[in-house]
A and B are shown apart, each in its own frame.
Chain A
Amino acid sequence: MGTFTIAGKTFASRLIVGTGKYSSPAVMVRAHDASGADMITVAVRRVNLDRTKESLLDYIDTSKYFLLPNTAGCYSADEAIRTARLGREVGLSNWVKLEVIGDERTLFPDNEALIEATKVLVREGFVVLPYTNDDPIACRKLEDAGAAAVMPLGAPIGSGLGIQNANNIRIIREFSRVPVIVDAGVGTASDASLAMELGADGVLMNTAIAGAQDPVAMAEAMKLAVRAGRLAFSAGRIPRKAYANASSPIEGLVGR
């Protein structure tokens, strides 16, 4: 129940965290530690040619964390494929969090281009984890295209709105033969718990932790929330009923 496996690789934590938007590298390092995550996402960008800035990798213990490069900011299958290939050479891992964005304001995925890019990258030997809409049919098509997991959004990236369509996440879990990771939209711990209670295999988040007033405390909250949600899912919740069902015995009441 504790670990989960994607493409044959087992992770101790079901929480995947990002490396963006932290106020300082030191805060990020402490938040990562508090999160208990063992997979973290990174972006692929042109190097800073003046070399005055330190490298992100100066702050990440790659013996402890598995790096998942993303294709954030890519608006076509070609751009995403190019970025994935570059990310593979930086990190020497063939895993990619595949993003093909369809709209600047919402950052919603372009499903058609996403499926196309997934097919190409799978053929090239990548382990593809696509960031997708909370659409069970899109998720099924991605799985058919060879995705190693599907990562439906809970809400728009960075919005903190929580899971907008819980029923779709539940259906996606029911349909999928690959792991389902709720990616994006988490605002606070209960959102992460809900994702796990719906049956998600994992949750991926960045802004909810990095943007919190105390990112280290929020990282720990998320660690606990993911565990609690998974435990509750595994434990099997009681059915919902419209009316009360007393917990204390009716017999032996005083004065009756």
Chain B
Amino acid sequence: MAAVSEWERRLEETALAPIRRTGPRFWALVAALLAVIGWGVYAYWVQIRDGLVVTGMRDRISWGLYIATFVFFIGISHAGTLISAILRVSNARWRTPVTRMAEFVTVVALVCGASFVIIDLGRPDRILNVFIYGRWQSPIMWDVLAITTYLTGSITYLFVPMIPDLALFRDRLGGHTSRWRGWLYRTLAIGWNGNATQRRSLASAIGVLMILIIPIAVSVHTVVSWIFAMTMRVPWDSALFGPFFVAGAIFSGIGILIIVMAILRRAYHLEEYVTEKHFLYLGYLMAAFAAIMIYANINEFMTHGYKLQEGVEFHFRQLFLAEFAPLFWFYLLGGLVSPIVIALLPATRSVRGFVLAAVLVTVAMWIERYFIVVTGLRVPLMPYEPASYTPTWVEWSLLAAGLALFALLITLFSKVFPIIAVWEVAEDHEATVASPDTARRAALEPPKLEGETAR
């Protein structure tokens, strides 16, 4: 028992540490991110003033980097759903240190993704028209409904399991922290004190949410894919788009989660809780999803390529051989094949290896969204010369600002809210320690990863 309390005390201290101490590096990072965001705000102001002509989009390729980034962020938002919900439903105990970060990433990614749609609008001042004159037959309306539902559900799903940890913060930090923080924890902990009634309510709420959030998340990326699949553009006219995008979303979500996990683990010394095992399991999941993505791509290209109907040959040429070939082959080899190779080879099956794979996956998935949007619009509809598209400094600035906003929000979250699900991790630990199968389970633990020293 003493060992458990000591372990638990260490866990709580680790969770509280970011709140207690803030070093200069944190402020430097925040300042740098704010600078990038500020530059993005300036770029957006230029766009508002002069119109979308400051971007590289034109009549023939009328969507570009903004919509690709929107789809990318919505895709990343599936990180939380997979880890938190699916692994909770399947009662995979190893998820517990990771769920909070995953849920953060989801909420922040949704906010960033939604802002890119608004950035892409020609008349953002009329955004309320969507609510006043909304047509339910429009894929964009389905998008609005699905994303607002998912955002609400995700915020709820972030908040509800956090209540006991917020109560921990309230109890341990009250009086030792700034007044607004104390007020925040007190309010958000909604009077949690761990009694039986509350525990029952919390359990049932989490139980319902974790099941509900899965179909919501699937529907979100499906309707996002339908924005493309409900048109008659040759590369988009595919019944496979829904599942393809959902698989891609979960895939890119795992990638970004590995990256966020690696960064937060090092920054906040979570090595005892977020272990190599977590990277290993997530890496395996990522490799599995890479295989699914390869399978989906084979389906798409084989079914179109066998028949070579109008426009398909042009599309294949631009994608495999000509203008977009470097992007496509990087996506295929760097984004889909390399995670599998890294997971298979013992030499690369390490935290570093999987973080590298995750970086490749994240970049490759952004590239995939980019060339899906641009090549889809580039196939000529009538007898004219194919147009070309190059993003301008405004678009790149806003992309950088979006990524900086993503990083900034996660950084700020980690300084205000508990980044690790203390009560769940503690529960998992106690169950492991108390279990008579501990010795047997320990023997079945996967071997230590290469290159990783115990910390």
Q: Do A and B bind each other?
A: no
List A residues at the B interface (Cβ < 8 Å). none
List B residues at the A interface (Cβ < 8 Å). none
